[in-house]
Amino acid sequence: MFVQLKRIFHFGWLNFKRHLGLSVATIFILLLTVSLLTSLFLFQRIVQFSIDAIKEKVEISVYLKQDVSLADILRLKEELLSVPQVKEVKLVSREEALERFTERHKENTVLMEALKEVGDNPFLASLNIRAVQPENYSEIVDFLEKELPADLQGAIEKIDYYQRKPVIEKIFQITGFVNRTGVILAIILAILASLVIFNQVRLSIYSQREELIIQRLVGASNWFIRGPFLVHGAICGFLAALICFGIFIVLCWFVEPKLEMFFPGLNLFTFFIRNMSKVLLFQVIAGVGLGVISSGIAVRRYLNI
């Protein structure tokens, strides 16, 4: 059994060298496919990092009427903190809101003059709410509008959720678009890789038809005849995975300083190194798996034994 397996691998390596041009083309297509899958893995990290950063900044504000007492404000805050979907609630007083506005627009003389004309503090106290997940904001608003005690509902002037809702929904749209686009591109490249392997296997079978006939005549098993073609696909997939791994190590090291300018704290190269074994295993499984499966389907289609 071991001798037969050794011969299968030997003939598979011979097939690889004999059709070197097609083997290189197969490796190239598999390299593109594995590279795309790896890019999706890393890009998902970038997207998730960006989304997490956006999530930290997204919040809704509940503005309170001017005559609301501090005791009612604190009661409302406690009610909100009791909701499982609420991560954090911060109280911003009228004075603090005025101070923030002044600091943000101190260079705008028109606004500063208009504020002086008003005379009194025009800002309302507010509770800034941060949810556990962006999709939880609608549930929090439902709680405020339907489940809050009547006296506390009367203390609310307005909720700015509906003004911020487009931003929150945009997060989900971007995530969904990235995932769908990546899956479509991966499927297209996988199909192209399969077509190249089909063509390679068909030409290999045609060029070895006399050898295959002789092998059958001397009693070779179906596994012994088909095995070298599967080994060939595995070799192409393995080499494509190794090349892809080397390329991405260099690529991550090169682009990390540039990404740091746009995404402070991302550390893509460090993330890649920490997950190096997982990435390599994923690439080998993807490359070898695609090569072997495509070769197996092609052998069943073109090799009549």
- One-letter-per-residue 3-state SS of 143-177: HHHHHCCHHHHCCEEEECHHHHHHHHHHHHHHHHH
Q: Are residues 46 and 183 in the same domain?
A: yes
Measure the CA–CA gap between 129 and 59, rounded to whole angstroms.
6
Number of separate domains in the chain: 2
Listed residue (270, 228, 171, 221) closest to 19, CA to CA: 228
Beta-carbon contacts of residue 252 (< 8 Å; ≥ 6 apart) = 42, 268, 269, 272
In Å, what is the CA distance from 114 to each residue of 66, 79, 101, 106, 109? 21, 37, 13, 12, 9
pLDDT digits (tens, 9 = 90+) for 126-158: 888 888 877 788 888 888 888 888 778 888 888
pLDDT in tens, 287-297: 888 888 877 77
Instruction: Please give the Cα distance from 228 to 223 (Å, whole number).
Output: 9
Pair 63, 124: CB distance under 8 Å: yes
Domain assignment present for residue 241? The answer is yes
pLDDT of 109 over the 90 cut: no
β-pairing, 86-92 vs 60-64, is unpaired
Query: Each residue of 237-250: b (16+ CB within 10 Å) or e?
Result: bbbbbbbbbeebbe
pLDDT category at 97 given cuts 50, 70, 90 is confident
144 and 274 together in one domain: no
Contact 79, 150 (CB under 8 A): no
Q: Is the pLDDT of residue 305 over 60?
A: no
Q: In terms of domains, do 183 and 292 share one? A: yes
Rounded CA gap, 64 and 157, in Å?
5
Span 264-289, mean pLDDT?
Answer: 85
Q: What are phi and psi of 175, to 5 degrees?
A: -60, -45
Comparing C-alpha atoms, which of 51, 21, 31 is closest to residue 248?
31
The rounded distance, in Å, linking the Cα atoms of 132 and 88 is: 8
Q: Are residues 45 and 80 in the same domain?
A: no
* 183 in the same domain as 137: no
Parallel, antiparallel, or unpaired for β 126-131 and 60-64? antiparallel
Beta bridge partners of 159: 62
Domain boundary residue among 154, 183, 218? 154
pLDDT in tens, 220-246: 566 666 777 788 888 888 999 999 999
Q: What is the CATH number of the domain that holds 150?
A: 3.30.70.3040
Looking at the fold, whether 115 and 15 belong to one and the same domain comes out as: no
> Is the residue at 161 inside a domain?
no
Q: Pinpoint the alpha helices (H) of 219-275.
A: 222-262, 268-274
Instruction: State the chain's mean pLDDT as an integer.
Output: 78
Tokens encoding 236: 């192409």
Dihedral (CA of 105, 110, 112, 118) sign: negative
Is residue 223 domain-shared with residue 289, that is, in the same domain? Answer: yes
pLDDT category, 207, cuts 50, 70, 90?
low
The answer to whether the beta carbons of residues 61 and 267 sit under 8 Å apart is no
pLDDT for 247? 92
Helix (H, G, I), strand (E, B) or coil at 70: helix
* 184 and 108 both lie in a single domain: no
- In the chain, the amino acid numbered 260 is E
Whether 60 is in a domain gets the answer: no
Residues 112, 177: one domain?
A: no
Q: Is residue 28 part of a domain?
A: yes
Is residue 222 packed enough to be buried (19+ CB in 10 Å), middle (13-18) or exposed (0-12)?
exposed
Task: Tell me: pLDDT of 119 over 60.
Answer: yes
Coarse DSSP helix, strand, coil percentages of the chain, rounded to the nearest 5 percent:
80, 5, 15
* 140 close to 85: Cβ distance less than 8 angstroms: yes
Instruction: Give yes or no: residues 150 and 179 share one domain.
Output: no
* Amino acid sitting at position 226: R
Q: Is the pLDDT of residue 167 over 80?
A: no
Q: Which amino acid is at 271?
A: F
pLDDT at residue 293, as a whole number = 81
Instruction: Lowest mean pLDDT of 8-17, 59-68, 90-99, 210-219, name the range.
Output: 210-219
Domain hosting 149: range is: 66-154
**Per-residue pLDDT, 147:** 82
Q: For residue 123, is it within any domain?
A: yes
